[in-house]
Structure formats: C-alpha cells, structure tokens
Amino acid sequence: MSKKSIILFFLSSFILTACSVTSKLVSIKYHIQKDSVLRFAKVGIAIAMYQPNKCAKPLMQYHANAYFTPASNLKILTLWIALHYLPDSLLGLVYHITGDSLIFSGTADPSFLHHDFNNQPAFNFLDSNKDKHLYYDNATPIDNFYAPGWSWDDYNQHYMPERSSLPIYGNVLTLIKTDTSYQIIPNNIDANLHNLDSSNVGSLTRLFHNNRFILSPIKKTTTIQQIPFITNIANKPIAVTLLSDTLHIPINYYQGDTITNWDTLYSQSRDSLCKIMMARSDNFYADQILEMCSLRYKHHFDTKALIDSILHNEFVQIPNKPRWEDGSGLSRYNLFSPNDIVWVINQLIKNWGIEEMKLLFPIKIIAFGQKKTTIYAKTGTMGGVTNLSGFFATSKNRIIIFSLLLNDFIDKIGTVNNARNKLLLSIIKRLH
C-alpha cells in the first residue's frame, strides 16, 4: 500500500468515526429539545468507553464540560477517597493505657454503636476495661459540624446528622413506635421524652440550639423517625455522656500531656461501610469517611486540606477543576462537570477493577415502558437536581462509563427521572 493510500485510509476512518459521533450527538440534542421535560432543564452528558491502561475514549458529549450540582454523585469521589486512604478495616479508636487509666480518642468512625453493625469491637473493648479509669482526649475535635453550603434549616432531617470526631448511634435520635409502645435510642438525651403516653406519641422535632425535643400531636404513619442531635455541648462531645451512661461508669476528660504513642483498635470492614454508603446514599457515612481520611492524612481533622491535596496531586488531571466542599454532596456549593464524574469512575475501575466496582456500585434496572437494562450507577437528588452516573457492559463486553447530570428544573423528580431514563435507554441502544 502506498504512502498516499495509507494516509487516505486513516483519513477516511477518522471522518467516518467523527461522522458517527456527530450523528449520535445530533440525535441526543434532538431528543432533549423535543422532550417536554428535558428541554426546560440544564442537561449535561458524558459517555466514554473504558480502555485498560489508557484514558477513557469519549463517545458522546453534551455540555460535558459545564458545571452542575452533583448532589449524591459526589459519593463516587468519596468512594475513591475511602479506597485510596483507608485500610481494609476502619480505625475505630485510638487509646493509651497507663497504670490504672485508659485514655481514648475518637477517629470519626461512623459505625460506633450504629444499628447497621451488630459487632462493636470498640465498645466491647471499652466495656471490657471498665475496671480502669476511663478518660476521653478531646484534643482533635471537628471544627464545623456542618460543611459549607449545607442547608441549616434541614437540621431536623434524618439525612443531615452533624459531623463529629466521636460519632455515636449515627448521631441521630431514633424513635421506634408501635400502637402500644415506643422506644427511643439513645434514651438519655432529653429527660422530657421519658414516660410518655404511647397513645399520644406522634412526631418529634428538635429545637435548633439545643437537644430539647418537642412532641407534636400530628401522628405519622411511619413507625421509625430519626432526628439529628447536637453533638457538642460547650465544646464537649455529647457522645462521651451517652457512652458513660451506656457503660454505667464515669468517663472524665483527659487534661494531661499530649499523647503521641497511641495504640489502635479497628472496627468494621471498610468495604462494608462503603457499600452501604453507595446503596443507601448515606450522607452521614460519606462525610464521616471524609473526616476519617483527613485524620489519616493530616493527623487531625481537616477535610479542606485533604481535598486541596487530592486536587493538586491525584486529581491534577481531572478535566475541569471542580468546587468540592464535602463528602456527601449535601452542599449546594459543589460544582462538577459530567466529564469530571466520568474521569473519576474511570480511575476507580482502573485502580480497583471492574468486578470490585460491581460490588460497590448499586445495581439499577433502568426501565421505560417495556424496555429495561441493568446498569451500575449512583443517583444524586435534591431540589431541582437529579443525576445518574456509573457504567454498564455492552453486548460486546465493552465497559461504557456515563454521567447524566440534570439541574435547574421545577418538574417533579419522578417525571424528570422518567425522561432521563428514556434518554439513557436510547443512548444505551445506540452503543450496544
């Protein structure tokens, strides 16, 4: 083959590929513009094919470099952080034994006395050492219980517990009610909740500035209600008081010299926590993971320093430098592009493998009418925001990474999700 023929061959291949991508993009634009729901929303799409040892190959782009509010799609980045920084088991406590005293300090482990985990190594360890004098070292508290951009008036909502260095019971008060009885966990936060008439137990709310809970006569059909409690009173963790009551022994605050030779106690499997975080979209787990990683990186709690370091090092090649404020995606200040999300998912697959990601990403069936397909994807939802990012395999076993970000709409979430699923199915059909 002559040099001229080779050039013509590659040129024609390039033109055909470009035409194919352009045709798909025109089709996507037409679909969005004709859709009665999507045409009024801000839509961003990035589709790429995973290539081992290479950058993902872009297949479709639609406002893929524009910035969007990611909501819980941010947990995809938190998953990367957890796998990169945390060991296989979570650091449950650090402690130091001297004489007849045991001094311990929190590590932001969210599993401590959480109902998700029956096995409680940290609590069992403290319980087995009740013959000693227990002291809590509060030398490294978390400065801000909310991240920048959190909606402060959601303080009563179960999805926004405070961040803390010694979380306990998920940092929420849980009301479990039946027709004839009720249970409150933990039961020692507010004495006003004791000895209530179960027939009048309706809905609970908390005052903003303290842990005073108010009983509303409005009856809720739900049997379980969770309300975040204030985690620090007068710069002291309420968890110490709750733990002292649970252990039935006093716990004092350590006032001695700085301890540098801490011993470590591990609690739960890292991956078990991450799997729940992704499946349930658990904001509390996500933000506490970020705190745990910052402690491991900086030896004190500083999530901003950790995020800045990641953006200047491991994520220096992310396509569009994001604004990144928390681990959960609760912050309205977060801004990421679809290409950013695709890039991070590609890093996850490249570093930890597709099979591991299938275990950690939620499995979803995307359906519209009679059509349906299986994908591995994380949702992200808040007012005016619904996102879906993940990956799927084609009939030819190609791994396709995608990010569909939809912002700035006023339609109902369900209506927009149906329109989004219809768009995703049309994209999947073109790529199979």
> Is the whole model's pTM more than 0.85, yes or no?
yes
CA distances, 142 to each of 98, 163, 235 (Å): 26, 7, 10
- Distance from first CA to last CA of the chain, Å, rounded? 33
pLDDT in tens, 46-98: 999 999 988 899 999 999 999 999 999 999 999 999 999 999 999 999 999 99
| Beta strands 385-393; 371-382: pairing state | antiparallel
Contact 94, 112 (CB under 8 A): no
* Confidence band of 154 (pLDDT split at 50, 70, 90): very high
DSSP H/E element including 91: strand 89-98
pLDDT greater at residue 267 or residue 13: 267
When mean pLDDT is compared across 71-75, 114-118, 173-177, the lowest value belongs to 173-177
| Beta strands 133-136; 251-253: pairing state | parallel
* Confidence band of 215 (pLDDT split at 50, 70, 90): confident
* Confidence band of 12 (pLDDT split at 50, 70, 90): very low
pLDDT in tens, 401-428: 999 999 999 999 999 999 999 999 888 8
Contact 134, 252 (CB under 8 A): yes
Contacts of 295 (CB under 8 A, 6+ apart): 91, 107, 108, 140, 301
Over range 362-386, report the average pLDDT.
Answer: 89
pLDDT in tens, 300-314: 999 999 999 999 999
Beta bridge partners of 269: 89
Report d(CA 98, CA 85) in Å as an integer: 30
Q: Which CATH number fits domain 25-83+292-431: 3.40.50.300, 3.40.710.10, 3.30.200.20, 3.30.930.10?
A: 3.40.710.10
DSSP 289-344: HHHHHHHHHHSS--HHHHHHHHHHTTTTT-SSPPB---SSS--TT-BB-HHHHHHH
Rounded-to-10 torsion of CA 78, 366, 426, 60? 10
| Predicted pLDDT of residue 141 | 87
| Predicted pLDDT of residue 219 | 61
Q: For residue 367, how far is the Cα from the chain centroid?
A: 25
Backbone torsions φ then ψ of 253, nearest 5 degrees: -95, 135
* Confidence band of 108 (pLDDT split at 50, 70, 90): very high
Map residue 77 onto helix, strand or coil.
Answer: helix
Residue spans per domain, the chain: 25-83+292-431, 84-291
How many CB atoms within 10 Å of residue 210?
Answer: 11
pLDDT in tens, 354-365: 999 999 999 998
| Predicted pLDDT of residue 181 | 74
Res 1 pLDDT > 70: no
Whole-number mean pLDDT of the chain?
90
Residue where the block lists tokens 């296989």: 88
